[in-house]
C-alpha cells in the first residue's frame, strides 16, 4: 500500500511539476498577485520590489556555486575515489545504499549545510558501483538528508540570535543576545537531532521503491556527456608540449601548489584557534579549495578537476536571482511581515510553537533562506510571543522566544522537501551527465514530509526546552 501511494505521488509530480525555473516563475507571479490583492500596493510597486530584490542573493549564489564545484573537485581526486571504492566493498544492496547515504548525509549537514555536496558525491559513486539502486529515489535521499542543518553548527537563526548587536537588538525587539545553549543546546534541539538520525534512515527503508526498471544510473546516463576515458592525471599529461618547456614545468609543478597549500593550512589553523568552531560558507569554501589543491597535487590537474566539476552549475547561476526577486516582493512590499503578523495573531501560550513552525514552512516557498526569512517574519513572531509571555520570569520568556525561533527554522527546513530551490545545489553533481530533473525526484519526498511534519509538530509543541 505504501509503495503504491509513493508511486502515485511520484506520477503526480512527473505529470504536473514543471522545470525548476518554471516553478520559480510561477512562485514569482503567485507572490506578486498575493501582494497586490492583500496590500495597498500598485503593480509598479511590486515590480520595483521584485527588481530591488533580484540581485540580493548574488553573493550567496556565488558561495553555493563554489561549494558545489570545490566539493565535487575533491571527490574527483584519486584518494577519495579509493576511499569510496573501499567503502563500496562493504555495501552490496540498494537498501544499504539508501540507509548509509541518509545517515551519513544527516551527520555531514549537522556540521555544515555545504557538506551536502560530499553526500552527493558518495551517493553518485555508490550508485555506479551497486546494482539495483533507484537513482531518482537516491537523489531524493540526498536532498532529504540535509534536514539536520538547522539543528547544527551552521544554523543561521540560532547563530543570529547569539550575535552581538544583531538587527533584533538594534530595533529594540530583543534587549540582549540569546546564547546557543537556549537553541542549539536545548533539549528540544538535541531531541530533534536524534529523532532524525534514528527515524529518517528507517523511514527511507520503509518507503523505498521496489521497482528500479529504467531508474538505475546506467539507464539514465547521457553517453555523450559521461564518456571520459582519460583520468585527470592522464589529461594533464596529454596537454604537455612535445618538447621540454618552462610553461609545462610550472603548470605541473608540485612545489608551486604546495606553497599555496601550506599558506592555506596555516590560515585554517589560525581561523579555528582564534574564532573557535566557526563554520561559515566562506571558510568551508576555503577548506574545500585548499583540500582540492592538496589532493590534486599540481595546478594543471586542479584546473582540469574544476573544469569537470563546474560543467553543470547553470541552474544556480541564473535561477537564484529569480528567487531573490520573490524575496524582494515579500520583503519590500511588506507581504512577509503581514503574513508573519497574521500567523502570530492566531497564537496563544499553547499553540504558538506550531504557528511559528507553520509560518517557517509557508514563507520558505517565497524566501528559501532561513536567515532571510527570519529577517522578514522573525520580528512579528518574537513580538507576539513576548506579549504571550508577559508576567512570566525573564528566563522563561527567553525559552519561549527560543522555541518559536527553532520552530521557524524546523518548518523552513522541512518544507524544502516540497520545493526545488536547494535541489539546485544537489543536481549539479547528481545530474551531471544524467537524464534526471526535479520532477523525477520530488514525488519521493512527499511521504517523508508528511511523516516528519507530524513528528516535528509534536516535538515543537510538547518537547521540553
Report how far Cα 249 is from the mean position of its chain's Cα atoms: 40
Give mean pLDDT, residues 304-319. 80
- Our CA angle for 115, 120, 126, nearest 5°, is 130
Give mean pLDDT, residues 52-69. 81
Q: What are phi and psi of 444, to 5 degrees?
A: -70, -15
Computed from CA positions of residues 419, 103, 6, 408, in that sequence, does the dihedral angle turn out positive or negative?
A: negative
Give mean pLDDT, residues 212-217. 85
Decide: helix, strand or coil at residue 434.
strand
Helix then strand count (H, E) for the chain reads: 26, 0
pLDDT in tens, 62-116: 877 887 788 878 878 888 878 877 887 888 899 999 999 999 999 988 887 777 8
Cβ-based neighbours of 125, under 8 Å, separated by 6 or more: 75, 81, 84, 88
User: 214 and 188 in contact (C-beta within 8 Å)?
Assistant: no
Q: What is the pLDDT of residue 175?
A: 86
Roughly how many angstroms between the first and final C-alpha of the chain, as a whole number?
A: 37
User: 135 and 221 in contact (C-beta within 8 Å)?
Assistant: no
Cα distance between residue 43 and residue 167, in whole Å: 30
Give mean pLDDT, residues 10-32. 82
The dihedral formed by the CA atoms of 251, 256, 257 and 258, expressed in degrees to the nearest 10: 150
Residues constituting the chain: 465
Decide: helix, strand or coil at residue 217.
helix
Q: What is the pLDDT of residue 51?
A: 94
Is pLDDT of 224 > 60?
no
Q: What is the average pLDDT score of the chain? A: 86
Cα distance between residue 316 and residue 65, in whole Å: 7
Q: What is the pLDDT of residue 228?
A: 54
pLDDT in tens, 170-193: 878 888 888 888 999 999 999 999
Confidence of residue 229 (pLDDT cuts 50, 70, 90): low
Q: What is the pLDDT of residue 1?
A: 59
Scored b (16 or more CB within 10 A) or e, 391-401 reads eeeeeebbbbb
Closest to 99 (Cα-Cα) out of 116, 82, 123: 123
Is pLDDT of 453 > 80?
yes
Is pLDDT of 49 > 50?
yes
pLDDT in tens, 147-171: 998 998 878 888 888 877 877 888 7
Scored b (16 or more CB within 10 A) or e, 414-437 reads bbbbebbbbbbbbbbbbbbbbebb
> CB pairs under 8 A, 24+ apart, for 29-32?
31/326, 31/329, 31/330, 31/335, 31/366, 32/329
Confidence of residue 223 (pLDDT cuts 50, 70, 90): low
Is pLDDT of 296 > 80?
yes
Strand partners, 193: none
Helix (H) or strand (E) holding 365: none
Give mean pLDDT, residues 191-214. 92
Closest to 178 (Cα-Cα) out of 157, 154, 193, 152: 157
Q: Which residue is listed with cell 582540492?
A: 292
Cα distance between residue 168 and residue 178, in whole Å: 11
User: 319 and 24 in contact (C-beta within 8 Å)?
Assistant: yes
User: 99 and 201 in contact (C-beta within 8 Å)?
Assistant: yes
Q: What is the pLDDT of residue 227?
A: 44
Q: What is the pLDDT of residue 413?
A: 93
Instruction: Give the number of other CB atoms < 10 A from CB of residue 141.
Output: 30
The dihedral formed by the CA atoms of 392, 173, 413 and 328, expressed in degrees to the nearest 10: 150
Please spell the DSSP secondary structure of 136-176, one letter per residue: HHHHHHHHHGGGGGGGSTT-HHHHHHTSTT-HHHHTTS-SS
Cα distance between residue 170 and residue 183, in whole Å: 21
Confidence of residue 2 (pLDDT cuts 50, 70, 90): low
Is pLDDT of 262 > 90?
yes
Cβ-based neighbours of 283, under 8 Å, separated by 6 or more: 268, 271
Helix (H) or strand (E) holding 454: helix 446-462
Is pLDDT of 226 > 60?
no
Decide: helix, strand or coil at residue 221.
strand
Amino acid at each position: 500500500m505504501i509503495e503504491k501511494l509513493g508511486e502515485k505521488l511520484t506520477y503526480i509530480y512527473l505529470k504536473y511539476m514543471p522545470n525548476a525555473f518554471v516553478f520559480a516563475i510561477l512562485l514569482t507571479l503567485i507572490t506578486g498577485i498575493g501582494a497586490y490583492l492583500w496590500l495597498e500596493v500598485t503593480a509598479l510597486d511590486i515590480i520595483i520590489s521584485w527588481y530591488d530584490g533580484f540581485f540580493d542573493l548574488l553573493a550567496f549564489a556565488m558561495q553555493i556555486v563554489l561549494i558545489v564545484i570545490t566539493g565535487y573537485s575533491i571527490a574527483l581526486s584519486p584518494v577519495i575515489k579509493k576511499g569510496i571504492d573501499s567503502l563500496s566493498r562493504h555495501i552490496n544492496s540498494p537498501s544499504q545504499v539508501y540507509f548509509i547515504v541518509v545517515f551519513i548525509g544527516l551527520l555531514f549537514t549537522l556540521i555544515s549545510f555545504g557538506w551536502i555536496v560530499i553526500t552527493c558525491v558518495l551517493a553518485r559513486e555508490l550508485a555506479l558501483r551497486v546494482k539495483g539502486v533507484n537513482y531518482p529515489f537516491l537523489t531524493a535521499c540526498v536532498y532529504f538528508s540535509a534536514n539536520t542543518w538547522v539543528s547544527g553548527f551552521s544554523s543561521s537563526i540560532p547563530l543570529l540570535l547569539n550575535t552581538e548587536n544583531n538587527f533584533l537588538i538594534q530595533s529594540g525587539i530583543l534587549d540582549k543576545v540569546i546564547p546557543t545553549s537556549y537553541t542549539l543546546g536545548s533539549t528540544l534541539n538535541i531531541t530533534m537531532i536524534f529523532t532524525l538520525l534514528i527515524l529518517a534512515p528507517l523511514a527511507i527503508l520503509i518507503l523505498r521503491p521496489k521497482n528500479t526498471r529504467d531508474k538505475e544510473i546506467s539507464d539514465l546516463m547521457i553517453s555523450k556527456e559521461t564518456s571520459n576515458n582519460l583520468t585527470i592525471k592522464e589529461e594533464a599529461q596529454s596537454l604537455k608540449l612535445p618538447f621540454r618547456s618552462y610553461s609545462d614545468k610550472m603548470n605541473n609543478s608540485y612545489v608551486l601548489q604546495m606553497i599555496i597549500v601550506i599558506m592555506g593550512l596555516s590560515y585554517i589553523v589560525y581561523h579555528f584557534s582564534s574564532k573557535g568552531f566557526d563554520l561559515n560558507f566562506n571558510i568551508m569554501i576555503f577548506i574545500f579549495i585548499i583540500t582540492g589543491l592538496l589532493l590534486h597535487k599540481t595546478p594543471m590537474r586542479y584546473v582540469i578537476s574544476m573544469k569537470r566539476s563546474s560543467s553543470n552549475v547553470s541552474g544556480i547561476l541564473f535561477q537564484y536571482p529569480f528567487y531573490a526577486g520573490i524575496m524582494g516582493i515579500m520583503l519590500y512590499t511588506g507581504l512577509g511581515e503581514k503574513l508573519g503578523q497574521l500567523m502570530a495573531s492566531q497564537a496563544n501560550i499553547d499553540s504558538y510553537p506550531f504557528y511559528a513552525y507553520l509560518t517557517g514552512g509557508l514563507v520558505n516557498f517565497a524566501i528559501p533562506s532561513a536567515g532571510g526569512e527570519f529577517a522578514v517574519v522573525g520580528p512579528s513572531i518574537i513580538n507576539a510571543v513576548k506579549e504571550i509571555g508577559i508576567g512570566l520570569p525573564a528566563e522563561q520568556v527567553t525559552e519561549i522566544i527560543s522555541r518559536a525561533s527553532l520552530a521557524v527554522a524546523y518548518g523552513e527546513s522541512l518544507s524544502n522537501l516540497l520545493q526545488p530551490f536547494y535541489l539546485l545545489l544537489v543536481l549539479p553533481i547528481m545530474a551531471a551527465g544524467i537524464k534526471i530533473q526535479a520532477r523525477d525526484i520530488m514525488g519521493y519526498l512527499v511521504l517523508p514530509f508528511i511523516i516528519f511534519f507530524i513528528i516535528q509538530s509534536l516535538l515543537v509543541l510538547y518537547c521540553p526546552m
